[in-house]
A and B are shown apart, each in its own frame.
Chain A
Amino acid sequence: MINRRLRALLRKEFLQVWRDPSSIAIAFVLPVFLLLLFGFGVSMDARHVPLGVVVERPSSVSESLVAAFRHSDYFAPRPFLSRQAGEAALQANQVNGLLILPQTLDEQLSTGQGAGVQLLLNGVDSNSARLLQGYVRGVFEGWLARQQAARGRAGATVEAQPRIWFNPELRSRNYLVPGLMVINMTLVGALLTALVMAREWERGTLEALMVTPVTLREILIGKTLPYFTLGMGGMLLSAGLSILLFEVPLRGSLWALILFSALFMLTALGMGLLISVVAKNQFVAGMAAIVSTFLPAFLLSGFLFDIDSMPWVVQLVTHIVAARYFVTILQTLFLAGDVWGVILPNAAALSLLATLFFGLARRQLHKRLE
């Protein structure tokens, strides 16, 4: 299997990696950088959201309601003396929402009529607005229940008792970080091979290589193995950071994580090889790697945006995005465990894509220059 020619190619590649640290930087520095940047920067949780509060007539009731918001981790209430001042702040984006407790609040509550409280939301970011709306309602309902209990008027209402599986604290980091690892490794894997093959084209070394008895299979393996090693190093580093720094729980088994990461790494490397076999130029290959791996992985993998809510055409397209399958595998492995019913079909899809990429790269690479 590994003959002298292949050994020579492998040795050459490792020496090049060692002497030109740009590959090492791509494999180790880039994923760590991206993970830290996105891991700390991107968060879907609402925490200490500035919420304007206008109390039109202060009373013990309004005070206890405002206190309920103040005690919540989600909000940082800011009092305003008038509705106008609050709306101005909302317009200036100093607060994300404005809660208005009307003059009639006490009366309405005491007469048993339904109490109306107005909530104004900044809807520019519709996702955050919806999130905020939910949190406000949550706080509100909790307060109401406590009020009723205190008055000894607990009615016989049906109460939903939610229990959240897999991510009980609803930490968005728990599912974002595994997704980020996928994005990073897609980019890293594709960049590693895309650049090295294009470099040989550019420097004219491939022309000299092609007239030796070396086979195309040897060239492809010689290009894949070293960068597989590097890529897996970067992958394990990312996994380590996720678990230790971002405190994402790993509920599945470590060996499964490594095995399926390896499978995904092969897919990403295959994609890169295919790009550089076609592009033959480092600049074009680099751009192609970013545009064709990073962006689709970001947008179409289901890591940030739910695939089921995409139009069906786009849903169809997501099936050729390798990251999609690995996002599912990693989120399952990290948060749920070794759920084979989910992992195996996705792993099968990954294997199919890897075979496809390597097959195409092999078909596009000739021992000729055209």
Chain B
Amino acid sequence: MQAVLRAAQLCKGFARGKSRVEALDEVTFEVRPGVVTGLIGPDGAGKTTLMRLAAGLLLPDTGSLEVMGLDVVSTPLEVQASIGYMPQRFGLYTDLSVQENLDLYADLQGVDPRARPARYARLMEMTGLAPFTGRLAGQLSGGMKQKLGLACTLVRPPRLLLLDEPTVGVDPVSRRELWAIVYQLVEQEQMSVLLSTAYLDEAQRCAEVVLLHQGRVVGQGSPDAFSRPLQGRTYQVGHPQLGRRRLQAELAAREGVLDAVLQDAQVRVVTQTPGAPPQRGEEQWQAVAPRFEDAFVERLAVPHPHPVQLPTQAPGEAREVIKVAGLERRFGAFRAVRDLSFSVHSGEVFGLLGANGAGKTTTFRMLCGLLPPSGGQLQVAGHDLRRAAARARREIGYMSQRFSLYGHLSVAQNLGFFARAYGLRGDYLRQRIAWAMREFELEPVATVDAVELPLGYQQRLAMAAALLHEPRILFLDEPTSGVDPLARREFWARINAQAEAGVTVLVTTHFMEEAEYCDRLAIMASGELLALGTPAQVRARCTGADGVVPSFEEAFIQLIEGHAA
């Protein structure tokens, strides 16, 4: 069968300030009809640019692009008439109701009014939006908006469906529902789908994967074809005495080991060559099946020259650093957080997980002393936040989702500013800045403006700034969103080093695999605590009658759905 999309030597660059960024660099690939093709790559890989080129919204610099056998450059209107395109922000009119949005797009797409009732009924059934047709789109939840956006794209059944990161910012439950719809479209309407995503774990759901990294195609094939070469190179490693973080740090630095990440109480390892693993001492190595992410790391990893060092000295005895009891926050009549109780110990990495609107951010802000609680107890580093917020804040390092850097100050100037803002002076100030430069390897970019740094470096700088005043507690709000998996690994290595040094780390994330990196975590839904414990405990709680322990994501979905029911 003929390919539904064919790109050859496609190049597209954008001017950014004085320099020029090549968003796509000699991209060549084909999309097969009748299956889901995943366009996978971290943020900034060029996925959105590629989608917009395919939808005829951008012009390529060089190279050719054919969609449904038509040249997109010379016949964009014809191409647009045969595809459906859902942009990242779905293009919904929030002031219009669900039905009005559907009608608008049906009119614009020229759908025959006689064909509409049947089509609407089918779309509403597929998306489960039937009970909400009168509701304004702006008042739908994030997942429902996504589904409505998809429905609007589908009012006129397209032959090729382009979905630009449809699962980003959507909780795991909605994500699974969206995938179910996509499969239905492929199977029942013989649609071809090109779907872009930054979640590597979604590769497994695609029939074919195009892996994009920094504007280049790094590989194309079935997900299995990616991971097959890694057969015999992936292991789960445990150690009876060593803590899992120390074990991971040791393994990561070991000759012959390509990748080491935390999973459960153990460490997941990818070796550089198949065959006998470089086993040592009391370690227990157990072979496991490779997954797509391993292939990504294998293809792109450059061995890190200076692995992050864990402190040699073990921290003192663990103490209770954060204590929350019966915490409540109201906004008017709405209770954003209610009856929340947990405690966190020193040197612990504690995760806060939940769907959008679960109350994570509100909780976080209360813990940092940015938002006064409406009720309950809240102690941070021995200070009652309701009375001594300022004193408690001195013990806190905070890194926000947007990194809060001054874009037009250099790295050194940013560090200098934050150090002074925290009241550092004289020798101590110079000493801490030197420490940050060394520890986070910022010397080579010391004079570069923050805005021009790659995202991974910005993240490092933000973390360095948050640690300048040697806080005992570090708050990280979605620190890894938008950062590629390699930078994410390095980032977690640094978090682990801090935790081993006795710093308490509180982190929110929407990457389910990152939940595994936490020592303990709390799952929230509509302001309440659903589960509290180690990742293994949470998973064990959701073990079905068949005795199979679910993945963390499955466990999460189960908990959320159980709560909604």
A residues with CB within 8 A of B: 4-5, 7-9, 11-12, 15-16, 19-20, 203-214, 367-370
Contact = CB atoms under 8 A, between A and B. Distances in A.
Contact of B108 (A15, A19, A209, A369): A209
A208 B104 contact: no
B372 interface: no
Contact of A212 (B80, B86, B95): B80
A7 B95 contact: no
B93 to A, nearest CB: 6
Contact of A207 (B91, B94, B96): B91
Contacts of B434: none
Contacts of B91: 204-209
Given A7-B107, A204-B91, A207-B52, 10 more contacts: A9-B104, A11-B104, A12-B96, A12-B100, A16-B95, A16-B96, A208-B90, A367-B76, A368-B56, A369-B52
Given A212-B105, A370-B58, A19 B95 contact: yes
Interface in B124-175: 136, 149, 152-153
Given A207-B87, A368-B58, A369-B58, A4 B93 contact: no
A266 to B, nearest CB: 25
Given A8-B108, A16-B95, A204-B90, A211 B83 contact: yes
**Which secondary structure characterizes the binding site on chain A?**
helix
B104 A8 contact: yes
B56 A211 contact: yes
B335 interface: no
Contacts of A15: 95-96, 100
Nearest to A19: B95
B377 interface: no
B92 interface: yes
A212 B109 contact: yes
Nearest to A15: B96
Contacts of A5: 107-108, 110
Nearest to B83: A211
Contacts of A16: 93, 95-96
B88 interface: yes
A211 B93 contact: no
Contacts of B152: 208
Categorize the interface residue count of chain B.
35 or more
The 4 closest A-B pairs by CB, nearest first: A208-B91, A8-B107, A204-B89, A212-B108
A370 B59 contact: yes
Contacts of A206: 91
Nearest to A17: B95
Interface in B243-301: none
**Most interface-central of A20, A203, A206 (chain B CB within 10 A):** A203
A196 to B, nearest CB: 11
A276 B214 CA distance: 32
Contacts of B96: 12, 15-16, 19
A209 B90 CA distance: 10
Nearest to B100: A15
Contact of B93 (A205, A212, A369): A205
16 contacts: A8-B103, A16-B96, A19-B95, A19-B96, A203-B89, A203-B94, A206-B91, A207-B91, A208-B86, A211-B56, A211-B83, A212-B105, A213-B80, A367-B76, A367-B77, A370-B59
A27 to B, nearest CB: 17
B55 interface: yes
A368 B57 contact: yes
A370 B108 CA distance: 22
Nearest to B77: A213
Contacts of A213: 77, 80-81, 108-110
B81 to A, nearest CB: 6
B108 A214 contact: yes
Interface in B69-126: 76-77, 80-81, 83, 85-96, 100, 103-105, 107-110
